[in-house]
Amino acid sequence: MHIPDGFVAPSICIAGYGISGGMIWYSLRVIKQDRFSQANIPKSALFTAVFFVASLIHIPAPPPLTSFHLVLNGMMGTLLGYYAFLAIPIGLFFQAVMFQHGGMSTLGLNAVIMGLPAIVAYSLFRLRSKIPQKRQFLAKALAFLSGSSAVLLSALIFASISISTISPEFDADAEKFAIYISLGSYLIQAFIEGLFTVMIVSFLERVKPELLKI
């Protein structure tokens, strides 16, 4: 789900940097109003490292995937809120520099692909405060939805960009078919990441519930 250098036109890369820059500015405004920023900044640094390391762990999968790695942008949004849009670009930067996952010209675009769905996941997870204590299974369902929907939304944004920028040198129909197949495979990954987010949230609820307060 990382767009590499040279895959899209420079104008799209510039637009990606513009959108991501605007989101970073807005996120900093929100964070500035956070009364618990001194506690949330170290937590954000920790999960930035988790987001970075997750890209190195490849999980075997059946065709059409041979393997995949956890994206975790849904979990980042769930646990970090607007801090996620600062943490994700940092993780993407180190992935691009150290392991060539993505690229520097497309860093802003990849930040949008990963970061905007993380904010959506955060908005979904915030709804748990309106759920009665007796219906905590609904809170778990929200955690699952937050983790899985972010992956699916990222995949849809990635697919939309990929389809709209197919080079005329390639077979457009074949490229589109491959992209549609990959979208189907992301359904499996979304399910796994939804379960993973539920596990993390359930664990933190038992041992460190204050970490869920953003």
pLDDT digits (tens, 9 = 90+) for 147-187: 999 999 999 998 888 888 776 666 667 777 777 777 777 88
pLDDT at 28: 93
Structural domain contains residue 127: yes
Name the stretches of the chain with pLDDT < 50.
none
Structural domain contains residue 189: yes
Structural domain contains residue 4: no
Structural domain contains residue 152: yes
pLDDT at 174: 75
pLDDT at 18: 95
Structural domain contains residue 2: no
Give the pairing of strands 67-69 and 58-60. Answer: antiparallel
Per the structure, the count of domains in the chain is 1
Assess contact for 117 and 154: CB atoms under 8 A: yes
pTM value? 0.87
Q: State the residue range of the domain holding 52.
A: 10-212
Rg (Cα) of the chain, in Å, rounded? Answer: 17
| Dist. CA 73–CA 88, nearest whole Å | 8
pLDDT at 198: 92
pLDDT at 26: 95
Structural domain contains residue 145: yes
Amino acid at site 8: V
Structural domain contains residue 5: no
Structural domain contains residue 1: no
- CA neighbours within 13 Å on the CB side: how many for 200? 23
| Dist. CA 21–CA 25, nearest whole Å | 6
Q: What CATH number is associated with residue 37?
A: 1.10.1760.20
pLDDT at 211: 75
